Every structure is written in structure tokens, then in C-alpha cells.
Amino acid sequence: MNVNQSAPPVPPFGQPQPVYPGYHQSSYGGQPGSTAPPTPYGAYNGPVPGYQQTPPPGVSRAPPSSGVPPTSTAQVPLGQGAYGQFGQGDIQNGPSSTVQMQRLPGSQPFGSAPLAPVVSQPNVLQPYGPLPTSAQVTAQMAGMQISGAVTPSGLGYGPPTSLASASGSFPNSGLYGSYSQGQAPPLSQAQGPSGSQPPQRSAPQQASSFTPSASGGPRMPSMTGPILPEQSFVGPPVNQPNHVSSPPPQVPHPGTQIAGLPGQPPPMHSSQQPGYQLQQNGSFGPVQGPQPNYGSPYPGAPTFGSQPGPPQPLPPKRLDPNAIPSPIQVIEDDRNNRGSEPFVTGVRGQVPPLVTTNFLVKDQGNASPRYIRCTSYNIPCTSDMAKQAQVPLAAVIKPLAKLPPVEASPYVVDHGESGPLRCNRCKAYMCPFMQFIEGGRRFQCCFCSCINDVPPQYFQHLDHTGKRVDAYDRPELSLGSYEFLATVDYCKNNKFPSPPAFIFMIDVSYNAIRSGLVRLLCEELKSLLDFLPREGGAEESAIRVGFVTYNKVLHFYNVKSSLAQPQMMVVSDVADMFVPLLDGFLVNINDSRAVITSLLDQIPEMFADTRETETVFAPVIQAGMEALKAAECAGKLFLFHTSLPIAEAPGKLKNRDDRKLINTDKEKTLFQPQTGAYQALAKECVAQGCCVDLFLFPNQYVDVATLSVVPQLTGGSVYKYACFQVENDQERFMSDLRRDVQKVVGFDAVMRVRTSTGIRAVDFFGAFYMSNTTDVELAGLDGDKTVTVEFKHDDRLNEESGALLQCALLYTSCAGQRRLRIHNLALNCCTQLADLYRNCETDTLINYMAKFAYRGVLNSPVKTVRDTLITQCAQILACYRKNCASPSSAGQLILPECMKLLPVYLNCVLKSDVLQPGAEVTTDDRAYVRQLVTSMDVAETNVFFYPRLLPLTKSPIESTTEPPAVRASEERLSSGDIYLLENGLNLFIWVGASVQQGVVQSLFGVSSFSQITSGLSILPVLDNPLSKKVRGLIDSLRTQRSRYMKLIVVKQEDKLEMLFKHFLVEDKNLNGGASYVDFLCHMHKEIRQLLS
């Protein structure tokens, strides 16, 4: 069957197919094929000197190799450097060999042409691929050097050299010029032939040539002057978007030249001249000969066949942060290149745009990346290859993800009493990849190859391509995601379910009453109950509600509509919990509105004078579950709890907080539950379809690790408001509660992931319970929760047929309807490691690695977990270096294009509070974050580990777009500006000490910096453009995140600034976490050790 066959314009089942003006399928990012965006840099001033093909007179050179013309006189095409054959820093002793160094067999998957010696073949392009597409920036550090520009096969590092600056000196940069956001000036390329193709995703990975020019002539003086008329500036931007292959080779134009930034150091010169040879994988060789503006280290230029002269003084070792991969640049490039066109899912194994890019999805047979994202979209054919690469094969699945309004929700298919069509052997559901045979009377399962009969009522003829003629009338034959209505066979006890119920269980102990929590909550519930989730266009929600209050005992309320006043029933025997009433406990909100309102008015008054400080916890959950069992329905418990449950009752806890255990082998006990009682309780809850959402309001240690067990295993959520104060935390709590009550939830759910032959699901991460090795059981599942699945090989895969995943979720909707939601995804398979590395997604990889590590701390010392992460990352990058990158000096660090952010993001995970806590981080905070990350999606982990830092005062006030982010480092902060930082849970505004008085007045309504209240959590509402813009931006950021982010205003040099700096993740932190630069050096060392 042809997976790539496109759908007719308007499928009969109603999928909206908007027309996208200018949509051009074959190129990325909306760029037309043969042209590229104009260069972002201005030109240098002054005349442009001509390039010299031969060294100037008086420069001695290496003796020519026998039988081969000297390098400089070989007929090399103009605009392309001649390549010698020695590695970085090697000195040629005696005549050079005529044979170019041979590459290892493992690293030859790239070009079809045989390798040939460059020097002896005039007028031939380099054997390793097209001309370089980007310029390099050198930067110094101990024994290694980093190039800022990167092309698809990776980023390179070379040995130390001294690169001179053209303009003399640059502030704060030592010898190294800083290009903005890690970007070197682009190398301009001549216009390709008019019919030249845009970059294709399947283009072979280009390997780099690996040696510098043998000519020892000096470098050309820096370029100045206006751009000459014949120069064309059509090269691609320097940092190519992640996952996009390099453009095809273009014919060099005699006048090509590099545009540079005014006032910035000169870019690397084009390969027509001696010096750095630009190389395709972003690495480059050492400069051999003096630099512009620098004298030769000793009189006369060096002769490379002779002995070196006196030693040069070593320049200071400093790595320019601008020359290492920038997350901001990668995100920006992906937005520019892939945000303007829809992502059409018809092609197998496509890498989607990054999670940080806003894009539209058109489902044409594979599930949207909003539902499933993979660590790699091209998986190794054999387990040996997978072990060699060490890249985890995993999918992050968000089965009930909320789609943007412009995308259609999955279609619901009703097959009547016969139910959905499935494979008889493996039970996979009908999907677009099933192959119909024998004129449509049978189908072959794409997962297990079993031949199945097509039931008479489902029969349809095939067209000339072997596709059913009704394929586009049926969502299950043409779309990646859809739903089936389940028959009674899919229901518990073969009986259709009742609509679910919500039970609100409120702690009325002394702490809860005193803080104002109970009064606030009761007031809010009066209006909130009108917004319970409802199905489709239903006028009212089918969900019934019940109320319980508790301290050491439990109080149940009868709110039957026929009563004039609510009735309270007290259960004091908490050891043997039962529900004292059935009729009148769970009611329809509209029928019993007057009684419920009366109850919510009375609760704060009833307990206003309480002196009871002790609480129970497990019996409360037990009571809620028993109530749902008696009502024969699934549902959710909303628990509002304030303190450690120390009252005599099942599940009683003691304070076991002990900071002395940190960094010892017993540290793992802090993350483990105190007692097994809560796991047993959670198992009962899952069997009943009882999901628990827990809202915690602790003033001290409450043992989150234990209290969160039931929410975690039932698919629920935990919210924590430490030291709750109504005036400061009201908005955050109310917003979280509203969102939690209103969100669409699937109840009593079971999820199974099926795979085609060759791989199988072996491990699962998330908030759920598993009673066997295949079924993920969820008492409740909402649109924010993900389940992460890891796959392993159990057989060899086939490159032609690829690999298939099918996620099937059986659940009860809010209206009580039993449904099956199906997501399908086809992946490519590869026999070359280069294809694996070219199709990875770093954000998903980090999501998996963080969850793997956060589960690891339950059973292993934290140091062991950290070391495991570092070793795995080093193995991934060393395997790439050994098998995919071009041969080059060991002094270079070469990163795959798709993984160039792996080190910076992994360092953020290693520095997180769970794996490296600071003195101010409590045990409860660590346990809270650990369980939170377990079910985060890829977008949430991306911003959680690498926060966004947005300058508020640099973009024009009238601009309606979000200000461009800057890197999360203190170096990027200017004391004259104001910045906003967000990580999905926290929101900070940092105010520089020398911000203009007018800006302070506009934003804070005070006349000077000193009058701003540090720790302010609400900006004043002022009627001016800046205030409106900043408040609008904050509101917009809050709507993007699943939890309300509380604002904290931080002033420069203030005590709160330490908290803010904790989120500047590229810097060293106080807990001993490495800076990005230091960690990159460390990774390089680890990789070199593995390679040697």
C-alpha cells in the first residue's frame, strides 16, 4: 500500500483541509528552492583586496611531493581550497604521500563516489561532499577549540590557535570575537543553477574534508570596503535548522565573499586562501601562518617542512560562549524554517518541527506530534547497532492531548454492535497501514503479518493501486488518530458505565481554617461547579458531585434536592471506613443547587472555632473510593490537605525528614514512600476507576514522597502551595483548581502500545499503575499527562517496511461513554548509524533521560544516577564521532547537528534540584518535582530544564510579538534592562539597577528603582503601553502552561536574586553544578577517553 498517496482535497468524513497559500512541499520553512534569505549581516568598509592563489614572494614552502605538482599550483577550482592530508597540528616530515588518508569502513555511508586523492585530480570537487555552507568562529580553551557554525554532520572543535581580531579589541571577549547568539557570519555562496533543488531530508550526510592547506603562506589582510557588484549573497543562514540536511553543492562564483558584522571580528576567509579550511561538518584545521594584525611569531613565515621556531607565548585560555551551540539560535532557526508551513504527516519517519515552534498539523496517516514524539524517527535495524549507538528508542505519548482550535479533534467512528475491526492474532486495530488483499476480502496485519477475513459488512472493492475505494471515507483507513465507540464487550462486567462523579474532600483542621483556605475554597466552589466538564454540545455536565470534610474524623453530607438544609453524618471509626449514606451523597449539581450553596456557606462557620490540629489521610481516600464503588461509577477525588497525617489511623506517618542523608547511599529512602499502605490503597483505587488529585498547603514537612503515591499511581496530579497565604497565593490556587476541575478527563482507562515485528515496548514512565507487563492502567488520564514508552529490539527490522507503533487507549468519557482512542505512527529503519543520528530529536531524548534518571533515584544513589547519564551521553556522541564524523584531530569535539544541544540540556538535568539539591531545597520540593517531571510532555521538560529569558525593554513597545529570548546566563543580563524568566512553574521579573526612571514608573508605578518592592507578586494595572504589553505577555505565557506561574519581582543585587540566578542554567551554580562551557569540556574529555 502506498502510504504517501495524498488525500483528495475534501475527504467525505469532513476533515478540514485548509488551503495554504504558497505551500511548497519539497522545501522546508517556506523557503523557495534555489534562493535563500538575504544575509543578516552588513558589509565591511574599505577596499576588498584580490585573493592570492600563490603565496606572496619571499614565503618559503614545503618541498613538493614527488610526482605530484605542489598543492598551490594544482588546478583547484576557484573558490575552493586545496586540501593536504595531515591532521590538526601535524608537521609534514619529508615528502607527502600522494594518497589521501583512507577513511574507516564504518564511516563511509555518505557518498556513492569512490574516494580519490584530491591533490592529483585537478578540477574535481572534494571527495567528501559539497563546499562548506557556513563559516567558523574559533575559540580557545584547554586543548580544544569550538566552531560556532554548524552543518548537518556536526560541530567541530580544533586545537588552540590564536585568531586575531580585525578591529583590535572587543570588550569582554579577550582575543575572541563574539558573534551574536553563537552565530558566525554566513559564508556567501554563488547562486546555484536555476533549477537547483531545495534541501531534501534524505540527502546523504556530508562528511568533511579533514586537513588544512599545505601551503604555509600568510593569511590575507582582513576584508574591508563595499560589496563588489558581482558578489552574490545567497548562502543559507549559518545555523541551519535542526533536522534539515545541507543544501546540494553549488557552483562557486568567482566573486563569492563573506559578509561580516560591522565592528565585529573578521569572519573566516573563504577557502581560496591559505589559513583555515572550511569543512563540511563544522570542524576546521589549524591556521598555518601568521594572522592579520599579528606579526609572525618569529621573523620570516614558517616553513612547514623545517623545525619550529622559538615557542610562542600561550594566549589566555578562554572559550567564547558565543561559539558553542546556542539553544536560542536553534529554536529561532526552527521557527523561521518550519513554522510557516503545515506539518503534513503522510510521509513515514518525518522529524517534526521542534516543540518550541508554532506549526499546524495535517493528519494524513500518522499521528500528530502533539500526540506522539519519538527520540528518533529512524531506528536501527539491529539490536547490535542500537547497543553501539546507545541512543534510547522511546516515544512520549500524550493520548488525550488538547489540539489548537484550528485542528480537528479525532473523528469518532461507530461500527455498531460488531465493534472495531481488529487483527485476530495480535488484536491490533484497523489502521491506514493494514494491507487489503484478494480483492478486498482479506487483510494482512501490518503488525504481525497475520491474514484476516474482512467481515461482509466491512467489505469494499480495491482500486488499481490496491487501496480500498472508500479509504478516504473512513478515518481509520486514512488518518493517524481517530476514536472508535466501544461495545459492551469493552466494559466492566459487560455493562455500560454510569457517568463519573467528583468528590470534594476538604481538610477542616486548625491550619486550614486559620489560613483562610476553607472559606476561600467554599466560596470558589459555588461558581466553579457550573463549569464541570461536559461532552460535545451538552447543555449541562453529566458528572455528579459529593462533599466530605475531615480532620481526625470524617463528615459526610447529604445534599439531596428534596432537603431544605444539608445533613451531616460523622464517621469516627477511621480504621474501618464505610460510607454512611448512598442516596443524597452524589447528586446532580442543578437539581441540588440550593442545598449545596447552603452547605458551602455553612462549612467555614461550622469549623471556625476548631482547635483540632491532627489529620488523617488514607481513610479519606478510602472513603471516597468506597463511595464511588457503592455508586458503581468511576470518578475523581479532589483532596485539599494541610499537614502530615499523624492522627492514629491507617496510613499514619511520622516526620522522617533528614538532610544528613543527602549524598549518602540512604538518600534514596527520602524519595521512597514510608509505608506500603498507600501502594495497596492505590491498587484498589485503580480497580475502581478512582483518580485522586491532591492539593497540598504545607507549612512544614508533609512527606510528599508518601502522600503523592496514590495520585501518582491513579493518574492524578499533585499541586503544592507551601506556606499558603490567601493574599499572595489565592490567584495561583484558584487558577489551578479551575483548570483542574474543568479539564477533560478519561476515566477507568487502559492503554496498550503495540509494535510491528522486531521491536517491543519494554519500559514505561508516567503517572499510572501496571499489574502486568503490557497494560498501562489509569484510573484517570487528562490532556496534560504523558506516558513515555521505551522500545527494545527482539528481532531484525527491515529498512523497506520500517517500524510501526499503535497506541490504543480504552476509556470512559465525561458523559459516561466507553471509547477507544487510536494513534498510529510509522518510523523508518536504517542500517547506517548516520541515518539514526540525522533523525533524532534532542528535546524528546532529554525528556526520556530526565524521567529515566528521576526514577533511578528511587533505587540508586544520586551520584550513580548522574554518572550513568554522563556516560550514556558520552557514548552516544563518541559513537557518532567514531562512525559518522569525518576523520579529524582528537582535539576536536564533533557533535551531530540534531544533537548539538544534548550537552547543554543534559547539564541542566544534572543540575536540577532532584539530582543536585542546593541547601535551600527541601526534601518535599525534590519529591514534588520528581513526580511532576514523570508525566511532563516534551514542551514542558524543554522549558523546565532550560528556562526562557525574555528582555522586556529591548523590543519596541508597539511590537505585538513576543520579544526574542536570550540565553539563560548572567552574562546576557544588562543592568539597564528588565527581563522576564519562565520555566513552566515559576515566573520572575528581574529589574536591573540602572533601568531608566520612566520605565520603572510605567511598569511599577513608583518613581525610582529603590522604591520597587522586592518579591512583589502582582504588577500594578497602569494605563500605559509598556504596562499593558508586559501584563499581556505574562497572561499569554500563563495560558501556554498547564499550571499557573506565580510572579516574583527580583531586583538586581537583592537577596532574592540568588533564587533567580538558580534558573540561569548556563552558569555555574552554588550547588556545584558545572557551567555549560565547563560541562562541554568535561564531555569532550569523556568522549576522548572512550575513543582511546
Q: Summarize the confidence of residues 294-305 as an average pLDDT.
A: 37
Prediction pTM value: 0.75
What's the Cα-to-Cα distance from 824 to each of 60, 348, 373, 477, rounded to whole Å?
66, 11, 12, 11
732 pLDDT band, cuts 50/70/90, is very high
Phi/psi for 782 (5° steps) reads -110, 180
Does residue 137 register a pLDDT over 70? no
Please state whether beta strands 544-550 and 435-437 pair in parallel, antiparallel, or not at all (unpaired).
Answer: unpaired
Does residue 704 register a pLDDT over 60? yes
pLDDT at 85: 38
283 pLDDT band, cuts 50/70/90, is very low
Please report, as a single letter, which amino acid is at residue 992.
G
pLDDT at 311: 54
Which position has the grid cell 522549558?
943
Highest-confidence segment of 22-36, 140-154, 156-170, 401-415: 401-415
Please state whether beta strands 412-413 and 394-397 pair in parallel, antiparallel, or not at all (unpaired).
Answer: unpaired
Please report, as a single letter, which amino acid is at residue 532.
L
535 pLDDT band, cuts 50/70/90, is confident
Query: What single DSSP character describes residue 393?
Result: -
Please report, as a single letter, which amino acid is at residue 628.
L
Average pLDDT over all residues of the chain: 78
3 pLDDT band, cuts 50/70/90, is very low
| Helix 938-945 with 842-856: angle, nearest 10 deg | 80
pLDDT at 919: 83
For residues 84 and 835, which has the higher predicted lDDT (pLDDT)? 835
What's the Cα-to-Cα distance from 265 to each of 128, 149, 666, rounded to whole Å?
29, 15, 53
Does residue 609 register a pLDDT over 60? yes
197 pLDDT band, cuts 50/70/90, is very low
Q: Are 812 and 343 in contact (CB under 8 A)?
A: no
pLDDT at 824: 98
Q: Are 146 and 893 in contact (CB under 8 A)?
A: yes
* CA distance linking residue 401 with residue 785, whole number of Å: 8
Q: What SS3 state is found at 791?
A: strand
pLDDT at 955: 85
Q: Summarize the confidence of residues 131-147 as an average pLDDT.
A: 35
Q: Summarize the confidence of residues 979-994 as an average pLDDT.
A: 96
Instruction: Residue 341: count other Cβ atoms within 10 Å of its Cβ.
Output: 21
pLDDT at 1022: 95
Helix (H) or strand (E) holding 904: helix 902-910
In percent, how much of the chain has pLDDT > 90? Answer: 66
Q: Are 989 and 1047 in contact (CB under 8 A)?
A: yes
* CA distance linking residue 442 with residue 440, whole number of Å: 6
pLDDT at 315: 52
Q: Summarize the confidence of residues 866-873 as an average pLDDT.
A: 97
pLDDT at 668: 94
961 pLDDT band, cuts 50/70/90, is confident
Phi/psi for 1050 (5° steps) reads -120, 130
What's the Cα-to-Cα distance from 602 to each of 417, 491, 571, rounded to whole Å?
50, 40, 19
Does residue 90 register a pLDDT over 60? no
pLDDT at 655: 95
Does residue 863 register a pLDDT over 90? yes
pLDDT at 312: 54
Q: Summarize the confidence of residues 913-925 as an average pLDDT.
A: 91
Q: Are 671 and 855 in contact (CB under 8 A)?
A: no
Which of 97-106, 507-516, 763-772, 1004-1013 shows the lowest mean pLDDT across its residues? 97-106
1066 pLDDT band, cuts 50/70/90, is very high
Please report, as a single letter, which amino acid is at residue 997.
Q
Does residue 313 register a pLDDT over 70? no
Which of 199-208, 503-512, 872-881 shows the lowest mean pLDDT across its residues? 199-208
pLDDT at 809: 98
Does residue 136 register a pLDDT over 80? no
